[in-house]
Amino acid sequence: MNREKAWVHIRDSFWFLPTIYSILAIICVSLVTMVDLWIIPKVQENIPAILLMNTSAAQTLYGSLITSILTMTTISFSTIMVVLTTYSTQFSPRTLQDFMKSRITQHVLGVFSFGFIFVIINLLLMGSEQSKELISPFVTVIVSIVCLAFFILFVHHSSRFVQVNNLIGTIRSSTSKVIKRTYEAMEYYTFSDWNEQVIKESKKKRKKIIYARESGYVQTVRIPALIEWASKKDILIEADFFVGSYIQKGMPVFYCWSDTRDEAGLEGCHDYLLIGNERTDLQDIEFSLQKLVEIAVKAISPALNDPHTAVNCINRIGSLLAELGSVYKPNRYYADGDQELRFIMEPMAYEEYLYKSFYQIRIYGSKDISVMNGVLEALYKVAAVNDYSIKEGVWRFGVYMMKAVHTEQLDELDFKHFKHHAEKLADSCNETISFQR
């Protein structure tokens, strides 16, 4: 299990794809060199002359191509630093992950690594016979053209990624995928209620507390594998954290109830819990929403004063909350294939998602009527497409947001628009509201 955790770290690291491309470059150099040494001398007369080049000309070509690929790589890294600086100062430090983990970014640097290693090893392996005909220079030219194409792709990708509207759309799309993974693609039995008597009987067994081995953020819990492991051990496990919570080393993370006396074996729970130095969007819906919240809060700050970007973020947050409401289930109990309770984990309430999405916007944007109208409009759309259980929580939160606006200080026209949005929200939640000025 520890190998699987290590694989997740390696796969998501920035150097993983460039390393794969570098290994492929070495393999390709070996294949091309074998062709030059063993095949070309035998079929040289049947190959068009344009595909072959003597060693002297190839050395000159390789020197130029190495310089060109290094130049493109340097510009690409400089572009990355510019984008990262822009993200940190204007958007949110949390959004750096989105650009650095972008597969386009990693594939581009991987292709550059492939091209540089391919060219320099070919140059290193080139023989001293100046008149020898080789096909590797022609292949190298093709590789260089591919590098140039990826360089153009990267410039286009960077210029689009640094645009705030495109960034917001990207975060919205990735968060939507997180929601689907969390609630729609479950491979186990989940329940919001369970027979309390059965739970009490299960908890009469020997109790074992599993303590955290390291400090950090809970990035993911491999629930299906954990349930399968608990079923084999015939134990009941209860988690004492949320995904995204910060865990302090030595604090309880799991409680296990079993008849086994092999308490050391229960430490295997750690293999299904991934803790890291930073939050990720693997299973953490709140963290994904937080990125949009931070962009919105920074946009309405006096330093930027860009309420339209804030409203754009609010619209996307509302869209995600509406999508979350349509699939949200307060599942707390997880059973195995035999319908035996194996895992208990407290879910985050839907109202908590509402609060974490808008409470900071309420603090910093309460004096901007366009921002508050945007929040009410987003809440209206969330309520309009969901059932009563969601509407009820949305209305309570809507009242909380409306209290932040001092209606008696609003101009008549501002008050008219604010009242209109508030009444729309009330109607969608089957509630009534009245204002006094």
pLDDT of residue 437: 62
For residue range 370-401, list pLDDT tens digits in order. Answer: 999 999 999 999 999 998 889 999 999 999 99
Q: What is the mean pLDDT of residues 158-163?
A: 78
Q: What is the mean pLDDT of residues 196-204?
A: 86
Pick from 52-56, 340-344, 379-383: least confident? 52-56
Tell me the C-alpha distance between 421 and 390, whole Å. Answer: 19
DSSP readout, 151-195?
HHHHHHHHHHHTSHHHHHHHHHHHHHHHHHHHHT---SEEES---
Q: What residue type is 141 in one-letter code?
A: V
Mean pLDDT of the chain, nearest integer:
86
Q: Please state, for a pLDDT cut of 90, what percent of the chain lies above it.
A: 37
Confidence of residue 185 (pLDDT cuts 50, 70, 90): low
Q: Which residues pair with 257 in a beta bridge?
A: 207, 236
Q: Which residue in 300, 309, 326, 289 sits closest to 172, CA to CA? A: 289
Q: How much is the pTM?
A: 0.79
Give the three-state DSSP class for 234: coil
Phi, psi of 103 (to 5 degrees): -65, -30
pLDDT of residue 114: 92
pLDDT of residue 189: 78
Residues 317, 358 contacting (CB under 8 angstroms): yes
pLDDT over 50 at 1, yes or no: no
pLDDT over 80 at 143, yes or no: yes
